[in-house]
Amino acid sequence: MNQSKSTHRVFIALGSNMGDRVEMIEKACLELDRAGITVKRTSSLFETAPMYVLDQDTFMNGVCEVETTLEPLELLDVTQSIEIGLGRKKLVDKGPRSIDLDILLYDQRIFTHERLDIPHRMMLEREFVLRPLSQLIPHERPPFPGHNTHFLSHLNSLPPPDQTPVATTHISRHVPAIHSTDPHRPTHIMAILNLTPDSFSDGGKHSSTDFSALTNTVRNFIASGATIIDIGGESTRPGSTPVDEAEELARVIPAIRHIRTSIPEAANVAISIDTYRARVAEEACAAGADIINDVSAGLLDPEMLPTMARLGKTIILMHMRGTPSTMTKLTDYPNGVVQDISTELLGRIAAAEAAGIRRWRIILDPGLGFAKGQSQDLAILRDLHRLRTGIHGLDCFPWLMGPSRKRFIGRLTGVDKASDRGWGTAAAVTASVAGGADIVRVHDVKEMAQVTKVADAIYRG
């Protein structure tokens, strides 16, 4: 009888310091998948200073967990073949390389051969290996004889590096990456461009058929400091009525194409598509969008997460419950809003990873105003730092905050007209920056860009 091969849990280090480093690592992960070596999870990508050979460019380093039926030497043959296929030429030991794939762990096995040692002999001295590995398996222990300390403890016992590694999230070719763990990073301004007649504060203001007005709007956004433009073709305000897919496409696709082909100033900004529909996301990306911003984090369309994975774009996973028409009734958080949001977002991250989305392509949004009441929105703003850094599994992600003109601001200030809530929005944007937000999504771009500049100077030096 034929017996199926058993599967093995393996951790592989990923590194590159030549060319487009993120693209090279992503190509390596795709090649692993194509070879039947299933990438189950990835760490964040960290930009790190070189070690051993110091006269070379900085590295992008990460770790992936894979599942394979290959034995260690068979797996080594495949990884080395992938390296060669992606153009690696080893000129200097530990020197520059386009791609580096090192087998770190293979089940709990100790394997010794002239070509390969498992566990990797130098892994415990390498901060750039232990940091991403500790994201995936912080409390597991290396199978070295006599080692009873888990990986996170090994990481914490190393002397601090001269240059602290920073988590890196690639947005697009048009804008610099987000370095979410850099305390001096600038806050990105995401300008809201709603092409809808019924959005809560600017419905009917913008149209995808008036290209002249669209051009002026986008140019003003960019001149005012926007680095991302978030385009939406369906209102998701509480109680909104959904539009059909064809109508949403008709609203957003012409606008994205126009921005990408007819507005030269937009060459250096990213375009985000605000949709929960997989087909809209795919066609928007084909037209020139760089980011998929899904208010449901993949819950409202079962094809969304697989589509996101296949497209390889950066995604925003927002916390929401139910639908826009039901979410106002789903505001019970028995463990506290921060704890329950974190638990539910961790579930969406796991679903995204299971679909094949890489951790370094994910941005998180706690969803102000979506299935939250006023006190809960305020708690999120007050405790954003704890969401970002105090809960294992949510660390090192960039965070987006969208307080602009929200209902809780109107209630606190007594301002009924949403477009008049600029002063309250400024306070909420400042609180978002203080809590560590990497992106703020706003209507009043010029004013909020000034707010973030001052808030960045205060809180990020």
Separation of alpha carbons 109 and 106, rounded Å? 6
For residue 233, count other CB atoms closer than 10 A to its CB.
25
Structural contact between residues 404 and 448, judged by C-beta atoms closer than 8 angstroms: yes
Q: How confident is the model at residue 55 (pLDDT cuts 50, 70, 90)?
A: low
**53 CB contacts (<8 Å, ≥6 apart)?**
92, 93, 94, 95
DSSP state of 308: H
Clarify whether 441 is annotated catalytic: yes
- How is residue 104 written in tokens? 């770190």
Out of 441, 446, 453, 460, pick the active-site residue: 441
Clarify whether 94 is annotated catalytic: no
Q: Is residue 438 classed as helix, strand or coil in its secondary structure?
A: coil
DSSP state of 133: H
- How is residue 458 written in tokens? 């205060």
pLDDT, tens digit (0-9, with 9 covering 90-100), for 287-298? 999 999 999 999
Q: How confident is the model at residue 49 (pLDDT cuts 50, 70, 90)?
A: confident
> Tokens 């960019």 belong to which residue?
222
Q: How confident is the model at residue 200 (pLDDT cuts 50, 70, 90)?
A: very low
Cα 104 to Cα 66, 121, 267, 342, 421: the distances in Å are 11, 8, 40, 30, 53
Separation of alpha carbons 226 and 344, rounded Å? 30
Q: What is the mean pLDDT of residues 136-154?
A: 91
Out of 21, 348, 406, 421, pick the active-site residue: 406
pLDDT, tens digit (0-9, with 9 covering 90-100), for 363-400? 999 999 999 999 999 999 999 999 999 999 999 999 99
Structural contact between residues 161 and 280, judged by C-beta atoms closer than 8 angstroms: no
Q: Is 121 exposed, middle or buried (0-12, 13-18, 19+ CB in 10 A)?
A: exposed
Separation of alpha carbons 71 and 6, rounded Å? 10
Alpha helix (H) residue ranges in 195-277: 211-224, 245-262
At position 80, the amino acid (one-letter code) is: Q
**181 CB contacts (<8 Å, ≥6 apart)?**
164, 165, 166, 167, 396
- How is residue 18 written in tokens? 């030549």
pTM of the model: 0.93
Domains of the chain: 8-164 (3.30.70.560), 172-460 (3.20.20.20)
Q: How confident is the model at residue 148 (pLDDT cuts 50, 70, 90)?
A: confident
